Structure 1
Amino acid sequence: MRSVDIVSTAFRNAFRSRLRTSLTVLAIFIGAFTLSLTNGLGTGINQYIDDTVASVGVDDVMTVTKASDEQPAEGPTEYDPNQIEVENGPPGQTATALTDADIDTIAGIDGVESVEPSKSVMVDYVQHDDGTRYQLSVAEFVPGMRLELAAGEQVDLDAAEPELVLPESYLEPLDLGSAADAVGQSVVLAVTDATGAQVTTEATVVGVAEPGVITMGGAIPNDVLTQELYDLQTTGAPEAETTRYAQASVSFDTSGGATETEALQDRLADAGFTGSTLEDQLGTITAVIDGIVLVLNGFAVIALVAAGIGIINTLFMAVQERTREVGLMKAMGLSSGRVFSLFSIEAVVIGLAGSALGVLGAVGAGQLVNGVAGDLLADLPGLTLIAFDPVSIATVVLGVMAIAFLAGTLPALRAARQDPISSLRYE
């Protein structure tokens, strides 16, 4: 019997007992469906994070803070004048403040191209044309970031005049009209200085940002506006208070790859500082997502193991029912290897049918979920909650087929080892 004949015969025999095979295929379908769906969930979320990082484009910028050996204490923390609240951190989280001397030290470390201390600005409100005042937060912006804009252009950090990119959600409240109409208009920003007086300054809207991970933090000012707000906010404060920073942004050369980046982090650590890239900061998020997906995949694997047991049972029954048939084939010269291949291919066919149906079902379910999630997660444009990577899909199908092959090994070996004379006498 030629190889082609063995394959075609295996395909026909796989569905000889339709009910039994269908139930086994159903078990495989459940496992492959779950595995594909959970992998798609992990792929979609991680892809969104990767796209966000790519759009930020700040792989050559490192956030540097003062290293501290002290472990977070439970309950109230003793006051330390050198501690400063961490920007964009959990409420109440503090770190040792950086000083101008620290900034100079960081600038002198080998591999640091430039260093800019982060100036924390707390805006009281934003207003347009003496209208209603609305609370507004400002987010730090570093070179290389790219915002998704509804209109206008990216903020020019080096512009001589104060300018900012305003979130799209502020257009209607501030009566700025459409996104295109808002570009070029001026808004008033207010801060409270160290004496308790409220002071204002103006800035020009150069762009309107669509909702996203970056712009959810608020408006994006250029350097001139940030410095102006910071100066107004620290008016009347002691000089020591105006030269204390929670963190600094360090620019470095990425041409050396991960090895050189780690070497720079080591040099910063030796100098008493902690440096983390955006990839480091997002690594925890992706690790949590991967962990959740791994747990969900565990349930899918359990279903596939159960399906493998079903394949063993199905093929053992097939071998028993076709004992005389196997004996006849071996009596006519079919080798044990060919018999083994015949039943192994049957197992693979069952695995292929179940995995293919499971993947197709997962893709269909994913499209439905994405349609619903598109409305629920409208504030995260570009997010595809469940994304299917062709490589992952192929891996699922091939993996299930491999499990099916292994599950079919015992029944196939039993069939291959049958004595033709005894098989022909089997009743």
Structure 2
Amino acid sequence: MNTADLIGTAVTNTFRSKARSILTILAIFVGAFTLTLTSGLGTGINAYIDDTVSGVGASDAMTVTKAQEGNDPLAGSSGPVEYDPDAIAGAGIPGATVIALTPDDIDTITGIDGVLEVHATHAISLDFIQVADGTKYVAGVGSLVPGQTTLLAAGTGPDADTSDPQVAIPDSYIDPLGFDSAEDAIGASMSITLADAIRTQHTLHATIVGVTEESLASPIGASILPNDALTAALFDAQSTGIPADEADRYTQATVWFAPDLTDAEVNALKDRLADAGFTGITVADQLGTITAVIDGIVLVLNAFAIIALLAASFGIVNTLLMSVQERTREIGLMKAMGMGSGRVFSLFSLEAVSLGFLGSAIGVGIAMIAGTALSSVLSTGLLADLNGLTLIAFDPVSVATIILVVMVIAFFAGTLPAAGAAKADPVESLRYE
């Protein structure tokens, strides 16, 4: 019996006992289905994080603040915080405050060993924004530094090199400001009003050049994003009547370090910043909790899938053991006609692999259909605010790996009955009743 005949016979023999084989395939199906969905969940969410990670900042940069005692820059306020006249709202995190950075602080940070460059962010507080004579809405002011990006629903990001005031607005403001769509907002003029130290209001006008989408790692959230020219004009208007040394107050600074630093060296830089009275937070710090939770959930779900596959492997063992017993005389006849033990072993092993392939292929196929449909429904419903998120995505390599792994598990599950069949004595087998 050549290899092609061996494979054909194995596939045919798989369904000699249809009910038993179908139940075994269903058991494999459950494990493959679950494993495919959980793998797709991890792939989809991690891909979304990878797509938006540049919105938090470059991997060779960290955000530096002068945090008040008792405040976690990542978690916000953990309780009442003692009043500090130098404290200002911090980084758009509700309840969080930071002590304003001064030019002297920036000089101190610049002089710390390992710091290559420092970019400070001014604190700007708006009264409202408005389009034409429409409703006035409260908005924050976001900022991007080199190495950061934001997702765009329409238009482009504000041009840092132009002297014309430009702004990008969040997509959540499209309808309230009276626009029919994100594209309709591009090119429109928007007025921005803020007050100076003596509460005199100043109104500036800027051209809307882009509409930003809110994402998991959005650096601006629901804030407008001005270009450098508009930022400078807003800060000058806000600082009217304030002494220069009081006006130069920064919410935070972005610090760049060598991109080839190890984790230990980055932590050492954080320690040096801490010794100087500052707190440094990297991209990994900001996303670490999110990715850890996601990976943990996927790992637990994968564990259930593996348990299901292990249970299915016992089904394969049972199916093939019964098949060997039922075909004892047939095995004896094959061996008496010159079929070697290796060929007999291969025949039953291929039957096990055939069961594994059918169960995994069906499980993977249905999981991809169900996962794609579920992801589509969620993206237009419950998860509609997370633009660009495909909750369950399938990587062809991962899908092929799952099928291959299940087939390998099926092969090893079939080795015991296959070995028993290979060792069978042809004379004794032919006498079997």
- Do both share a fold (TM > 0.5)? yes
Read off the aligned partner of 1:306 and give its amino acid letter.
Answer: A
Residue of structure 1 in register with 2:265 after alignment: 263
Change (3 A) 1:306 1:65: same
* Structure 1 residue 396 displacement after superposition: 0.8
Residue of structure 1 in register with 2:176 after alignment: 173
* Structure 1 residue 47 displacement after superposition: 0.8
Residue of structure 2 in register with 1:396 after alignment: 402
Residue of structure 1 in register with 2:292 after alignment: 287
* Structure 1 residue 237 displacement after superposition: 6.4
Q: 2:420 aligns with which of 383, 402, 414?
A: 414
Residue of structure 1 in register with 2:128 after alignment: 125
Please give the root-mean-square deviation of Cα atoms over the aligned residues, in Å.
3.1
* Structure 1 residue 48 displacement after superposition: 1.4
TM-score, normalization: structure 1?
A: 0.87
Residue of structure 2 in register with 1:41 after alignment: 41
Q: 1:87 aligns with which of 82, 87, 91?
A: 91
Change (3 A) 1:12 1:268: same
Q: 1:137 aligns with which of 137, 140, 148?
A: 140
Change (3 A) 1:92 1:179: closer
Alignment of 1:13-412 (within 5 A): 13-54=13-54, 58-66=58-66, 75-79=79-83, 85-89=89-93, 91-95=94-98, 97-175=100-178, 179=182, 182-195=185-198, 197-213=199-215, 214=218, 216-233=221-238, 242-252=247-257, 254=259, 257=260, 259=262, 263=265, 266-272=268-274, 273-376=278-381, 377-412=383-418
2:425 and 2:7 mapped to 1: Cα distance? Answer: 23
* Structure 1 residue 330 displacement after superposition: 2.6
Cα deviation 1:198-249 (Å, max 9, x = unaligned): 5223131241314331364321012333344344445566877645544211
Query: Do the aligned residues in 2 keep the contact of 1:24 with 1:307 (CA within 8 Å)?
Result: yes
Query: Do the aligned residues in 1 keep the contact of 2:70 with 2:81 (CA within 8 Å)?
Result: no
Cα deviation 1:371-391 (Å, max 9, x = unaligned): 312321444333222110011
* Structure 1 residue 291 displacement after superposition: 1.2
Q: SS at the partner of 2:122?
A: coil
Q: Tell which deviates more after alignment, 98-107 or 383-392.
A: 98-107
1:243 and 1:67 mapped to 2: Cα distance? Answer: 18
- The count of residues paired between Structure 1 and Structure 2 equals 422
TM-score, normalization: structure 2?
A: 0.86
Query: Do the aligned residues in 1 keep the contact of 2:174 with 2:181 (CA within 8 Å)?
Result: yes
1:159 and 1:115 mapped to 2: Cα distance? Answer: 23
* Structure 1 residue 317 displacement after superposition: 0.7
1:124 and 1:421 mapped to 2: Cα distance? Answer: 96
Q: SS at the partner of 1:355?
A: helix
* Structure 1 residue 74 displacement after superposition: 6.5
Query: Do the aligned residues in 2 keep the contact of 1:64 with 1:275 (CA within 8 Å)?
Result: yes
Listed as ranges, the gaps of 5+ residues in structure 2 are none
2:108 and 2:192 mapped to 1: Cα distance? Answer: 34
1:407 and 1:393 mapped to 2: Cα distance? Answer: 21
1:344 and 1:241 mapped to 2: Cα distance? Answer: 80
